[in-house]
Amino acid sequence: MIPTFTELQIRSLLNVIDTASPEGYRDYTMILMLLDTGIRVSELAGLRLPDVSIEDGLLKVLGKGNKERVVPMGKQVARHLWRYISHCRPEPAMPRLDRVFLTREGGSLGKDRLDKIMRAYGRKAEITGVRSSPHTLRHTAAVTFLRNGGDVFSLQRMLGHATLEMTRRYCELADVDVKRAHMTASPVDNLDLHIGHGRNKATR
């Protein structure tokens, strides 16, 4: 079983962040982005300003095996990201440093630093029973995407999985209500067929 955050735990995690400070707003935005897109922590750390299209709601990330993919982000995340970049992102320590998320001193945020940030907020929010980490946010993003009606093939592309094997594990964990999904997506019901009674009699 892949551990995921509950909705209550996510709210608790976000509520302990001081968004009035530039660092706090950065952390809030990063957590929302991980939860909304399901990207890996290494992909978040390596995200560059030219890779972000806030207007289109898209991110270009460099995944495993140096494979690039485009990942969508929601409107709320796009708004927070715009505000962070415009008002909270510090001056880079080096002129050519174009990473989106920076330390207070303007340096790069590494994967280990992001892990520590998540652990600290997890302790502050008193979250138990699940590991407070960026990887848990990735799992939570995948399961929630499916529960909210997302399809497995779109999820595979978002997460950057080479095959559907790993993505299928999220399907099992999501425990998607197949009957409810079928009521919406029934192939025949959506044809809007109108068969006259006279035609039915003629074929008997």
Please check whether residue 39 is in contact with residue 61, taking contact to mean a CB–CB distance below 8 angstroms.
yes
Of 26, 89, 99, 138, which residue is the catalytic one? Answer: 138
User: Residue 89 and residue 69: Cα distance in Å, rounded?
Assistant: 25
Buried b or exposed e, range 161-200, using 16+ CB within 10 angstroms:
beeeeebeebeebbebeeeeeeeeeeeeeeeeeeeeeeee
Active-site position among 69, 135, 147, 169 = 135
List 28, 84, 121, 170, catalytic entry: 170
161 in catalytic set: yes
The single residue of 11, 48, 64, 168 carrying the catalytic annotation is: 64
Catalytic site residue from 26, 40, 80, 99: 40
The question of whether 25 is a catalytic residue gets the answer no
Q: Is 138 a catalytic residue?
A: yes
Choosing from 60, 83, 111, 161, which is the catalytic residue?
Answer: 161
Which residues have CB under 8 Å from 78's CB, separation 6+? 54, 57
40 is catalytic: yes
Which residues are annotated as catalytic? 40, 64, 135, 138, 161, 170
